[in-house]
Structure 1
């Protein structure tokens, strides 16, 4: 949940990016000026002395592109005076005397690219912005390259920007580390120390940038052992060194004076957790809109591509592809992203109704028969026309958003029907209650959806959650059934080994009262849902929302068969851990018992930290034990200190939760739900930012991480 307007992580990142696009000039925003729809800074390029806008080109690398494209669109760049945007490795033509803004990672390849551009005279002057702090040796290399090439006069600015993280939602970020395969790297016995160091340093650099962007030094908590402790120790050292060694440090600005220098309670807590704390959310089937979009439509950088058959009767005709962006100006996404799917379908019905009423209101006043006629009809009274023309852009925009979401909903519905996701979701809600025989029956049932991977996901969640003993014979039986169902079972040997670790740390429970309420409400909703489907079909025809006609007619039978229930009010393990650290008074004793021994780092305190152990000692499981196991060093105190009783019980209003090895939309949604629930009834509102090394859906996590580890198990 974003804090006050302009204070969410996304708002802050957009403000930083707009400053970069304005050649690092400060943008003063007048109080009465409404901020740009996308963020803090007002749109519009800075002007020359003659009042002309300064037009410029933007050059980025892969990470720079991902950082920008998640929060700004091409028209936002245009409004900031950026006429062209290009990749640094692509071939580019000279555009003399045009300033170029570089937004790149500080590595040797990029620095050579910049020098080569300036040597060829492609652009001048260059405003160089590094996504993270450039190491001293690289800066010296760049200086000598610049001197040798004689390009110094073309460089106007060189800044470290601390923006090497990708923001997807107001308070959701990732470090974009898919290529590093962090979960595999940190749990594999084959990872070399140098590779491990690279992954840890990249994570520390990203978390440091998040702290800088938020303008505050957090207190760090993490469990002992494995990668989280190593990252926390290095981050603590980096923040501590920065405060001690920088005369004008990045946290001494007046961005958040109260928080950055204030008491621990007024500062946020950064909770760093290993992915093995709970693997289930990486594999579970969810029922919220944003999780379904991730699972069914594979959303990347807030963009989804939908394939629709040209002719449903004749699949041979092929499909059409359409890409959609879900950005911060999308009112429907902002309101419904974390909502269970049946409620989203109800809300789109309500929005279509509202749109229809608003258009009728205008056409009634002007005497035109439809919105389209208004543009051609000059006979209507001038005053009504003026009012209508003022409202037209907003109505058209609303219609475009509703068109898009109708297409997305239809595509998700198709996915739910084909894969029977409603059944899987319902089974996973009560996964602990299922017996071995029931799970085996589902795996063997050929009518349980078209994607065999869903069966593997259900089995792994059950296996990691169940209290029942699974013997070797049972295991063989399950494995054979999965293979017969067409499942790739390479990941299972690793899953079997990692179970011991996750069983120790899982904390999921379901509140019985909410669960009962959800069940009793479902029958009433079911009736509303089936009548809703026919209402929607009619509404589509009435409002002319731009969905294919075959979809309008099929919407009825698409929705008709979907089970309509609301999820039980369930806190995931990570939410319980966060609650026990942020609000220990309200947390369960089992959760507090787990977090009691978490290490405590305060980079602002005078206590020095112990020396870092070598990476191999910190690897999850160490070289000798099973992958994913916790290093069992009894009393082996690493860096950091055990928290005192007062520190353990102090409570926080703001937290950043970071999972090492992959993040899930399910966890983000669950945390935001907890924030909303605990902020009701006049209680002070909390805020939780969720981040991870990379955001993965279940398919990617199984294929890219678990299967790699499964192959390594002897």
Structure 2
């Protein structure tokens, strides 16, 4: 799937909203052109840096950006604050105002400021009120990490909600945080959605509170309620599918975020010599935007094509010569064309080289950790392929446990096989705490049924070669001209459990579906109905998972959206790395 085929992204909408913050518009017809300082707290930084880079800020008049907690000096220009509405942040802004650090101040909160804090802030700044040009509430308390992937940046929600130590007050506090974030997502989308959710879990609590909050604000925010274009918001519980949180990936995005350290577009690759290489994948990165959701072999082929395309275009412009050696007698028109084109080509080549380096590092990790074979075992739920992996003492216990849990959840292992495989892991000293928790889940039978139905729906496997063959062809670390019959290396084409749920709701079948029992909320009408009035199809869907999102589901949903002609936005309380989620599961048995 090519990312460029997607419709206008959710990230585009967030960029537009942040641009209004930086420009000082916020509904005004006059856009401020003054140079300014941007001051944010850590969350505000994450919100902005996930979709903008320094050049983007500069184009919006921002010459300097700093953390609110840092040591800052006086500068006679306006300041734009973008922070969470906390008492601590307000006190720091008040100190800035009294110290007259800036010419004027536009105070922007990522989410609405409680009235009590507003009154305190006003009382503390009676003498400095003339410095404040505006105090503005926004609905931007979420982070967009990919074109249609968002997170509320709430870590460890799965383990917190599942903990036996969770009390009612703590539960309500978590639910309120989630509702606040989802409310912001709805405001950004600009339309009141239909809400669907399963019964009897945290997802239902979130749906009920969000329905109530939207009813209270539907008129104030002037959100549209066009029945022909309204999206459906599906709030799901992570227990619907735990395996997707642990499985290994074959697509570029999933591999990068599983294997390397990454945050706000920064990819950090640890080298064997103890050093670290860092790469910045900007929101405008053309190669990432076009290829990040593709399988790794397809990415390598695309990389090869881009290199050849660059060489051809460079040769056409320069006649095959180095730009510095071009004939000075060449026509002015030709020279002008070359001078204007070469920087763009060079910038594009730099992006390709960066991804070449990342891909080469990925090949090394694939070989060392045998990620291709682990992926094959999980993707095909192949217990025959799994057994030799578990016996391989060179592989990490974490990788083997992740693969085992994925196959275990499929329900394809007999009791004897489970005993044998788990005995192998235990003998090797693998921490089995995460598996022990999975076994104790009350709704394990439901998850196994979903995975079993997925397996039964698959077409018989062909004799296609596996994904692992590709990695062996790249042992030299060189990407170009190494691809042949790339289609043979693609993973199975199947919908994951969350994708099947989405399909059942956006394109309901008259014959019935598991989602028929899902609760139904329409915040735009009086009263509250928990049953859908009729079979209703949707063209847009927002999918939110309480307990964590992952890149495997994101890629699968985007692929489904393109094939079905649906616009899908996906998010969760946090986007969780597989190893981190394994740790969450393990913590629940301690």
Contact 1:106–1:130 under 8 Å retained in 2 = yes
Q: Determine the structure 1 residue equivalent to 2:389.
A: 442
- Hey, what does 2:359 align to over in structure 1? 409
Tell whether the 8 Å contact from 2:297 to 2:489 is kept in structure 1 after alignment: yes
Q: Is residue 119 of structure 2 the alignment partner of residue 140 of structure 1? A: yes
Q: CA 1:508 to 1:691, structure 2 compared with 1: closer, same or farther past 3 Å?
A: same
Query: In structure 2, what is the equivalent of residue 33 of structure 1?
Result: none
| Alignment partner, residue 338 of structure 1 | 293
Q: Measured at CA, do residues 57 and 527 of structure 1 come closer, stay the same or move farther in structure 2, by a change above 3 Å?
A: closer
Is 2:234–2:541's contact at 8 Å kept on the other side of the alignment?
A: yes
Say what the alpha-carbon RMSD is for the aligned residues.
Answer: 2.9
Query: Any conservation in 1 of the 2:373–2:468 contact (CA below 8 Å)?
Result: no
* Maintained 8 Å contact 1:282/1:698: yes
User: 1:76 maps to which residue?
Assistant: 56
Q: 1:468 Cα deviation (Å)?
A: 4.0
Unpaired runs of 5+ in structure 2? none
CA gap 1:80/1:510 in 2 versus in 1, 3 angstroms: farther
What's 2:22 paired with?
Answer: 21
Structure 1 runs not aligned, ≥5 long: 30-44, 48-53, 253-259, 310-317, 540-555, 610-639, 679-684
User: Which residue among 434, 448, 452 is the counterpart of 1:491?
Assistant: 434
Mapped pair 1:156 → 2:45: no
Aligned to 1:94: 74
3-state SS of 1:90 partner = coil
Partner of 1:706: 585
Give secondary structure in 2 for the equivalent of 1:641: coil
- In 2, the alpha carbon distance for the partners of 1:659 and 1:501 equals 17
Deviation at 1:643, TM superposition (A): 2.4
Q: Matches of 1:155 and 1:671 in 2, distance apart?
A: 45
In 2: Cα distance, 1:234 partner to 1:495 partner: 29
2:363–2:475 CA contact under 8 A, matched in 1: no
The reply on whether 1:369 has 2:321 as its aligned counterpart is yes
Matched residue, 1:502: 447
- Cα distance in 1 between the residues matched to 2:146 and 2:470: 31
The reply to whether residue 175 of structure 1 matches residue 152 of structure 2 is: yes
Which residue among 218, 222, 225 is the counterpart of 1:251? 222
Label 1:116 to 1:442 Cα distance change in 2 as closer, same or farther (>3 A): same
C-alpha distance in structure 2 between counterparts of 1:702 and 1:528, whole Å: 28
Q: CA deviation at 1:440?
A: 4.7
Name the CA distance, whole Å, in 2 between partners of 1:235 and 1:594.
Answer: 23
The structure-2 alpha-carbon separation of the partners of 1:117 and 1:82, relative to structure 1 and needing over 3 Å to count, comes to same
Alpha-carbon distance in structure 1 between the residues aligned to 2:471 and 2:391: 31
Match of 1:312? none
- Verify the 8 A CA contact 1:509 1:571 in the aligned structure 2: no
1:102 deviation in Å? Answer: 0.7
1:274 aligns with 2:219: no
The structural deviation recorded for 1:393 is 1.6
CA distance in 1, matches of 2:476, 2:335: 35
Residue 652 of structure 1: aligned partner: 538
How has the CA–CA distance of structure 1 residues 237 and 538 changed in structure 2, closer, same or farther, with 3 Å as cutoff?
A: closer
Match of 2:226 among 245, 258, 262: 262
Structure 1 residues 220-272: Cα deviation after superposition (integer angstroms, max 9, x where no partner): 000011100000000000000112xx5xx2234xxxxxxx2311x42000000
Q: Secondary structure at the match of 1:266?
A: coil
- Structure 2 vs 1, CA of residues 61 and 211 (structure 1 numbering), >3 Å: closer, same or farther? same
SS at match of 1:570: coil
Contact in 1 for aligned 2:363/2:474 (Cα 8 Å):
no
Q: 1:456 to 1:534 in 2, by over 3 A?
A: closer
Matched residues in 2 for 1:297 and 1:696: separation? 13
Deviation of the 1:372 alpha carbon? 4.8
Structure 1 position 661, deviation (Å): 0.5
C-alpha separation in 2, matches of 1:28 and 1:565: 54
The 2-side partners of 1:56 and 1:702 are apart by 44
Deviation at 1:578, TM superposition (A): 0.3
C-alpha displacement of 1:352: 0.6
Question: Would the alpha carbon gap of residues 63 and 537 (structure 1) be closer, same or farther in structure 2, given more than 3 Å must change?
Answer: closer
Q: TM-score, normalised by structure 2?
A: 0.92
Q: List aligned pairs for 1:28-427, cutoff 5 A.
A: 46-47=32-33, 54-95=34-75, 97-147=76-126, 150-178=127-155, 181-243=156-218, 249-252=220-223, 260-263=224-227, 265-309=228-272, 318-364=273-319, 369-374=321-326, 378-427=328-377
Instruction: Give yes or no for contact 2:241–2:447 (8 Å, CA) kept in 1.
Output: yes
Q: TM-score, normalised by structure 1?
A: 0.77
Task: Determine the C-alpha separation between the residues in 2 that align with 1:204 and 1:76.
Answer: 30
Aligned residues: 585
CA pair 483-91 structure 1, distance change in 2 beyond 3 A:
farther
Is 1:570–2:523 an aligned residue pair?
no
CA distance 1:529–1:118, change in 2 (3 Å) = closer
1:689 & 1:108 partners in 2: Cα distance? Answer: 33
Q: Is the 8 A contact 1:306 1:322 kept in 2?
A: yes
CA distance in 1, matches of 2:418, 2:225: 55
Distance in structure 1 (CA, Å) of the matches to 2:342 and 2:104: 42
Which residue of structure 2 aligns with residue 604 of structure 1?
A: 524
Residue by residue, what CA displacement relative to the aligned partner does 1:511-551 show, whole Å, maximum 9, x if unpaired? 544842xx43x48x999998888895777xxxxxxxxxxxx
SS in 2 for 1:299: strand
1: CA distance, partners of 2:421 / 2:58: 56
d(CA) in 2 for partners of 1:141 and 1:120?
Answer: 18
